[in-house]
Amino acid sequence: MTNDAVPPPAQRKSYKIEAVGRALNVLEALAEKPGLGVTALANEMGLTKSIVFRLLQTLEEAGYVHRDAERATFSLGYRVALLGERVGRDGALLHVAPQIMDELRDETGENVNLVIREGNYALALATREGLHAIRMFAQTGRKGPLHAGGGSMLLLAYAEPSILDRVLTSEMPSYTNHTITDPEQLSKILHRIRANGYNVALNDLDDGAFSIAAPIFNASGEVVAALSIAGAAVRLDEQRREVYIEAVKAAADKISAKLTLG
Domain total of the chain: 2
pLDDT of residue 204: 95
pLDDT of 207-256, one tens digit each?
999 999 999 998 889 999 999 999 999 999 999 999 999 999 999 999 99
CATH code for position 155: 3.30.450.40
Residue 2 is assigned to a structural domain of this protein:
no
Q: d(Cα 101, Cα 103) in Å, to the nearest integer?
A: 5
Q: What was the pLDDT predicted at 140? A: 76
Q: Specify whether the CB–CB gap between 64 and 79 falls below 8 A.
A: yes
What was the pLDDT predicted at 36? Answer: 92
Measured CA to CA, the distance from residue 74 to residue 35 in angstroms comes to: 5
Same domain, yes or no: 72 and 99: no
Per the domain annotation, does 230 fall within a domain? yes
Rounded-to-integer distance, Cα 10 and Cα 2, Å: 17
pLDDT category at 9 given cuts 50, 70, 90 is very low
Q: What is the pLDDT of residues 166-212, one digit of tens each?
A: 999 999 999 999 999 999 999 999 999 999 999 999 999 999 999 99
Please say whether the beta carbons of 250 and 231 come within 8 A. Answer: no
Q: What range does the domain containing 231 cover?
A: 85-261
Q: Is the pLDDT of residue 133 over 60?
A: yes
* 67 and 95 together in one domain: no
Reduce the secondary structure of 196-213 to three states and give it as a string.
HCCEEEECCCCCCEEEEE
Query: Is 181 a member of any domain?
Result: yes
Whether residues 62 and 93 fall in one domain: no
Last residue of a domain, one of 76, 108, 123: 76
**pLDDT band with cut points at 50, 70 and 90 for residue 4:** very low
Q: What percent of the chain clears pLDDT 70, i.e. is strictly above it?
A: 87
The answer as to whether 252 is a domain residue is yes
